[in-house]
Chain A
Amino acid sequence: MKRILNNKKAQVGETLTWMISTIIILVLLIVFVYSTLAFAKAKNIETSSIDFGKADSSEKINWMYSKSELAFSMNNQNENVIRGWINEATEE
């Protein structure tokens, strides 16, 4: 009996390796599936990723902002009040 068990040592070791590797594979798969689920939920295209002309984006030409600027060039009375009112929308 002892001799038979001694002969199986290599097989037991191999099976253990496979069992552990299976667990690792399964755990990795579950992690990947869940992270894919999280990525899938975040598939939103938001305006923050596209420049539509926020008043504070100084890098690009902002046509929405330029509309108000053109109007200010024609009549700039109450400029601070108007700018404050416009910025209320961007802050919200």
Chain B
Amino acid sequence: MNKKGSDKVISMYWFVIVIIVALGIFAMVYVFYSAPYDVRDVESEILSSKIVDCLSRNGNIDSYFISGKEVNILDNCSLTFKVENEFEWGKTEQYFFEIEIIELSKQDPSTNILFSGGNTNWKEDCFIKDKKGKEYKKLVKCNEKRVYAVDGLSNQYLIKVLSGVGKSEKNIKQ
């Protein structure tokens, strides 16, 4: 009779252990899958790549961009900064870009052609780093691309594109 009693206690104990293990597995799955993927790095890379691809095709800079006229980069490069209507993103744009086209023969920086769009207030955030030189996770993710291009008259141009993506609410666990 005594043995039967101890068996019952152990089976209860075993049941409790199974519940603890199940809860542990649930916690692990929940912790892993509730953390979002941070894709902003790739997103800003794609944005800058698209802009560079639009400005320079096969090493030739489109004369339209160096004509001195006012250029709408978003329309000309078929880009849109519209985002899903979450976290009040409709109020502040979640992307920005800045383009600098430098004509190599002209030494004066004031002659550089500049274009920008989106939330350019974030530009400064691209350069903020902690003491170890690492970027802060909740700040904008930026990407810089530099390419060389020539125009139809073989004038040399250096193209610098800086792009950034916000959206930290969705990419970083708050």
Residues on A lying within 8 angstroms of B by beta carbon are 11, 14, 18, 22, 25-26, 29, 32-33, 36-37, 39-41, 43-47, 50, 52-53, 63-64, 67-75, 77-78, 82, 85-86, 88-89, 92
**CB-contact partner of B148 in A11, A26, A47, A68, under 8 A:** A68
Q: In the assembled complex, how far is the CB of residue A54 from the closest CB belonging to chain B, in whole angstroms?
A: 11
Contacts of A63 in B (CB 8 A): 53
The answer on a CB contact under 8 Å between A89 and B28 is no
B residues contacting A by CB (< 8 A) are 6, 10, 13, 17, 20-21, 24, 27-28, 31-32, 34-39, 41-42, 45, 49, 52-53, 56, 58-60, 104, 143-150, 154, 156, 158, 160, 173
Additional pairs, 12, CB under 8 Å, beyond known A45-B39, A47-B42, A70-B59:
A33-B31, A36-B31, A43-B38, A44-B41, A50-B42, A64-B52, A67-B59, A67-B147, A68-B149, A71-B156, A74-B59, A82-B158
| CA distance in complex: A68, B38 (Å) | 30
- Do the beta carbons of B104 and A78 come within 8 Å of each other? yes
Residues from chain B with a CB closer than 8 A to the CB of A70 are 58-60
Note all chain A residues with C-beta closer than 8 A to B60: 70-71, 74
Query: A89 contacts B146, CB within 8 Å?
Result: yes
Q: Which of B28, B56, B147, B150 contacts A75 (CB 8 A)?
A: B150
Chain A at the B interface: SS class: helix
- A77 to chain B: which residues have CB within 8 Å? 156
From the candidates A26, A33, A73, name the one contacting B28 in the complex (CB within 8 A): A33
Q: Considering the complex of A and B, which 4 residue pairs feature the smallest CB-CB distances, nearest first?
A: A70-B59, A71-B59, A40-B35, A29-B24
Query: A89 with B31: in contact, given A52-B49, A70-B59, A74-B150 (CB under 8 Å)?
Result: no
